[in-house]
Structure 1
Amino acid sequence: MAIVQPESERLTYRLLDETDGEFLWELDQCEAVMRFINGGRKTSRKETNDIFIPRMLSYRNAPAGWGLWQASLKDGDKTALGWILVRPHGYFTEQRDDSVIELGWRFKQDWWGKGYATEAARAVMTYMQTLGAHSFSAIALPENTASIHIMKKLGMTFSHTEHYQDQVFNDDIVVYHTDATKP
């Protein structure tokens, strides 16, 4: 079965793999981008290669649409702006739930405030619905108002606060959710 790529007005998408280390490392070199992920610390190449890529590959499942979808401009030089995460909610925790698809995003700071993250997340969410997914979540630190704003634009509403802990993250988060089968 051929994998159909998500589409949107201004962006193209492709599923990242183990050869995309340079892009993943480059994206994590901005302290503002990393602020709500690890307090603003830039990711080292070693962390990208030894931690981030293996984690991404552990949930990457192309036929299911799971992984990191790189979002790039359609026009001009096809600049890569960031990525949209797609995986089961709580994938790295004891509360993993494959019936709920967690969406996340990380975009280069130069592209913030232009609607690209919302456009990309919406396109990937719509694509996931064509694959049979209907329940979506997103998580953020409570003070990450920009990400929470995107969640609301995607039709998600506040679900609950929880303590999220896995091998690389340990903090209290807010969880937003939507069920695409409900009006």
Structure 2
Amino acid sequence: MKINNSARLSYRLMSADDAELLYQLDQDPEVMRFISDGSPSSRETITNVLVPRMQKYLNPTKGWGLWQVNITETDQYIGWVLVRPMNFFSALPEFDNLELGWRFFQTSWGKGFASEAAQHIKNALAANTQYKKFSAIADEENLGSIGVMKNIGMSYVKTYLHVDPLFECNVAYYQLQNA
């Protein structure tokens, strides 16, 4: 699957070859504030945990993976948008419900890039009627990510303790039906 450029941004699926880009993004304590209490990811964690984890759900045909987001005009890498089935790493993944997530460099915050990228990628995937819902979770105190969820038309569903092999925390769960 290819996703065409949006108004200001370009997209491509990331691979194991992008480990250094993933590492760079995870070095800002503010970027990592709601992910790891501000602790940056080590190169070893990127190489031995995050890249193999990404490769488990990477499916270029279906559009699953981490979509690198660049500013079209300068080709500057500003972050990524995650696409995978909701609860992918559980015993009951939801293949008709795609999880969207995002992580962007702090220098790009407040400019609408995350909302533009998430909306554009969601719209591209929405053409596949197999996907009935789009969902997102964020730490319940992460008002920036919750704002992106609202900006792309998602509605609050619930707050719950999300347990993942890498972390657990109380998250706000938002969702949008694929019309």
TM-score (norm 1): 0.94
User: Match for residue 101 of structure 2?
Assistant: 104
Specify the alignment match of 1:163 in structure 2: 161
2:71 is the alignment partner of 1:56: no
1:21-100 pair list within 5 angstroms: 21-76=19-74, 78-100=75-97
What is the CA deviation profile of residues 111-149 of structure 1, one whole-angstrom value per residue up to 9, with x for unaligned ones?
Answer: 000000000000100111123334100001110011101
Distance 1:167 1:145 in 2: 24
Secondary structure of 1:64 counterpart: coil
**In the TM superposition, what are the counterparts of 1:131-150 in structure 2 within 5 Å?**
131-132=128-129, 133-150=131-148
4+ aligned runs moved over 3 Å, structure 1: none
Residue identity in the other structure for 1:125: K
1:24 match: secondary structure: helix
When residues 80 and 160 of structure 1 are mapped into structure 2, their CA distance, relative to the original with a 3 A threshold, is same
* 1:118 and 2:119 matched: no
1:35-59 per-position Cα deviation (integer Å, ceiling 9, x unaligned):
0111100000000000000000000
Confirm or deny: 8 A CA contact 2:58 2:65 kept in the other structure. Answer: yes
Structure 2 unaligned segments of length 5 or more: list them. none
Q: Is the 8 A contact 2:2 2:12 kept in 1?
A: no
Distance 1:67 1:177, change over 3 A: same
Q: Does 1:128 align with 2:95?
A: no
- Deviation at 1:161? 1.6
CA positional deviation for 1:4: 2.3
Hey, what's the Cα distance between the residues in 1 that align with 2:113 and 2:25?
Answer: 15
Q: Distance in 1 between matches of 2:98 and 2:32?
A: 23
Partners of 2:91 and 2:4 lie apart in 1 by 30
Root-mean-square deviation (Å): 1.0
The question of whether the paired residues in 2 share the 8 Å contact of 1:25 and 1:43 is answered with yes
- Determine what percentage of the aligned residue pairs are the same residue: 39
Shift of 1:167: 1.3
Equivalent-residue separation in structure 2 for 1:93 and 1:36 (angstroms) = 21
Structure 1 residue runs without a partner (length 5+): none
Shift of 1:6: 3.5
Query: Is 1:6–1:124's contact at 8 Å kept on the other side of the alignment?
Result: no
Residue-pair matches, total: 178
- TM-score, reference length from structure 2: 0.96
The answer to whether the Cα contact below 8 Å between 2:79 and 2:102 also exists between their aligned partners in 1 is yes
CA contact (8 A) 1:93 1:165 kept: no
